[in-house]
Amino acid sequence: MGLTIGVDIGGTKIAAGVVDEEGNILSTFKVPTPNTPQAIVDAIAAAVEGARAGHEIVGVGIGAAGYVNRQRSTVYFAPNIDWRQEPLKAEVEARVGLPVVVENDANAAAWGEYKFGAGKGHRNVICITLGTGLGGGIIIGNKLRRGHFGVAAEFGHIRMVPDGLLCGCGSQGCWEQYASGRALVRYAKQRANATPENAEALLSLGDGTPDGIEGKHISMAARQGDLVAVDSYRELARWAGAGLADLASLFDPSAFIVGGGLSDEGELVLDPIRKSYKRWLVGGNWRPVADVIAAKLGNKAGLVGAADLAREPDPIM
């Protein structure tokens, strides 16, 4: 079909990239992310115009955080941008003169991994992104499954603990409150406060107090054998694996692809997640067990996936 542009809207920058049909990024153009909703639309258009220079482009795919309608045109609600019923497709098309589709950013990343990354060769995969929060995407029968209204796979807001921790969404006990980068830091601070003698390496990497602990400190300390850091990863993995076991009961995929910033830690995260997943999987000793594998595309997955989804002529359920 030709070259398309994928757009990734980040907290500090908006990146647009020209992508071919094999998932190769041929050129990129980045602009700072503005503070107001309409300025962000203008910045998306500017990034697209910058990236398309010298290329024949047939379409644009935008990965946007939040709920996107089934028609891939409107952002119902975005958590970090004041978009409510935002007609993003029409607004960007009017500025760039190209066909545009809008996709949830986690769906776009899942599609990128399925098509060009760790999911190659699989027909049925579930992707989860373990970052500051928790997101995901569903590919069943080689198709991205968005649900009837387009807002499926909001895995981070599955209720894991009734009346549990308050979530930013306004609910309580959501999965991302127990399996995310924020959760990992909370576990480490709690444990370091309770048993500082087991957190010497961890505390030394910050300001010497539990309040100074950051995610990067936990990773470094765990690799040094710090007991609190290692135990914090185990607690994160306990909840992540339990959630995967539930998703296996729902979707029965051949593989779970784990992406997001925490997946960069490799087996430090993946090995205990696998163990927890197998522990909680119903009938796990008697049934085939899906692989739990690391994503391969890193922070390129969303851009590449959005670009490829721009080639889809009709919404995929």
Q: How far apart are CA 25 and CA 27, in angstroms?
A: 6
Q: Which of 136, 133, 84, 108 is nearest to 7 (CA)?
A: 108
Residue where the block lists tokens 């609600």: 77
* Cβ 6 vs Cβ 305: under 8 Å: yes
Rounded Cα distance between 240 and 133, Å, is 12
Instruction: Name the residue with tokens 């807001």.
Output: 157
pLDDT tens sequence for the chain (317 residues): 799 999 999 888 999 999 999 999 999 999 999 989 899 999 999 999 999 999 999 999 999 988 999 999 999 988 778 889 999 999 999 999 999 999 999 999 999 999 999 999 999 999 999 998 899 999 999 999 999 999 999 999 999 999 999 998 889 999 999 999 999 999 999 999 999 999 999 999 989 999 999 999 999 999 999 999 999 999 999 999 999 999 999 999 999 999 999 999 999 999 999 999 999 999 878 889 999 999 999 999 999 999 999 997 665 55
3-state secondary structure 276-288: HHHHHCCCCCCCC
- Distance in angstroms between the alpha carbons of the first and the last residue of the chain: 21
Distances (CA, A) of 34 to 41, 79, 82: 9, 15, 12
Domains of the chain from N-terminus onward = 3-111+300-309 (3.30.420.40), 122-295 (3.30.420.40)
